[in-house]
Amino acid sequence: MSTTTVVPTELWLFTTAFPYGSGESYLEQELPVLAERFRRVVVVPLNERGLLRALPPNVDVLHWPTDPGRPASVGSMLRRPGLFLQLLRGARGPGPRPMPWRDAFSLARQVLARVDVLRARLLADRAPDDVLLYAYWMFDQAAMVAAMHALDARWRAVARVHGFDLYPERSPWGHFPFRAFTLQNLQRIFTSSAAGLKVMQQHHPELAGRFFLARLGTTDHGAGPWEPAPALRVVSCSNLIPLKRVDLLIEALRLTTTAVEWTHYGGGPEQERLRALSATLPPHVQCQWKGAVANREVLKHYRTQPVDLFVHLSSTEGGVPVALQEAASFGIPLLAADVGGVGEIVGPTTGILLPSEPSATQVATELDRFRQGPFATSEARLQVREQWSASYQGPANFGHFCDLLLGA
């Protein structure tokens, strides 16, 4: 951890595309709190796809002035050979499946080129002691801000780790490029669940003091409307990719005997296949595909339409999914597979925790008996909201995160 006593007044946040488009929606809750605690917040997306979202007045968005995929020049590599070799070795990585040299060389040059842009253009007139560099994802953006610290220790750099950037086995090489280099040069790394914190501490025990739990959180929009109905009203919300196991939910719905009205929010590469699969569901199961929509549309559904149950069957998670937090904030009971940090929000007072690898029959059984179970009451829904409020209030959690940031 840095020994400087100077408190930064500017936060520079590096994202994939936020505040453009609809992705990285978690930042919609976090950013207003960051803006309250820092004099100025600068958001630097590597890509600018989609419409620009509304931002607090002291938040600026900077356009990345070059192609983010552009490699560093030979001159840049020669001026900083030590840093380039660290990046090259970091990209290739350890383990049984190192990245091919050609790919590692290309990736290291990309990160070095971004460092050149930061030093020569974006941050050229900023005082290092006054700025905190914050990478939202623990991948190449984190390597970039870590490299800034490696070149000049006055630059303080931190990063969040979520899900896909938490488990090295998800990578095709069995490791994350730049991970060792990045961890050595970040002052603090934040996980969003106790489960994620444990993973990082187990994988890197020598750096355990740099890891901190900083939960995400959601806004309190009040309890959603609810009254009993003939059909079970189910909502799910996720990208349509294999690890979200939406096909498992469809197969479970096929096995149910109760009437179900299922609504799914989210799009993705599996959309056509899953829609075709749902078209063969029996008549007592009705489904609506809402597609990829702005987060406010999902919240509007919870605020205006009764929902009996939120279902989340992802095969892997790093933190506590925001989709579960949002549903619970409206008092909606949860049915979810026990992976990552899911068990930190789904428990006896909030819903039903399935095994990490549930069968379609197990899911169908819980759907069929839900309305005769303990969560089909107004009192139970109040308990769900109370549990959410105790641990996942956005302003409180992000305020704690800011305290940790300012101590970096």
Cα–Cα distance measured from residue 292 to residue 11, given in angstroms and rounded to the nearest whole number: 30
| Range 65-102 burial, b when 16+ CB lie within 10 A, else e | eeebeebbeeebbeebeebbebbbbbbbbeeeebbeee
- 193, 345 Cβ separation under 8 angstroms: no
- The third-level CATH classification (topology) of the domain covering 232-391 is Rossmann fold (3.40.50)
pLDDT of residue 218: 95
What are the residue boundaries of the structural domains of the chain, listed by start?
Answer: 10-217+394-406, 232-391
pLDDT number for residue 172? 79
Please indicate whether the domains covering 10-217+394-406 and 232-391 agree at the CATH topology level: yes
Averaged pLDDT in 10-residue chunks for the chain of 408 residues: 68 96 89 96 93 95 93 94 95 85 95 96 95 95 97 97 84 87 97 94 94 96 96 97 97 98 97 97 97 93 98 93 97 97 96 98 98 96 97 96 91
pLDDT in the model for residue 4: 47
Model-level pTM greater than 0.85?
A: yes
CATH C-level class of 10-217+394-406: alpha beta
Instruction: Report d(CA 153, CA 327) in Å as an integer.
Output: 42
Residue 325's pLDDT is 97
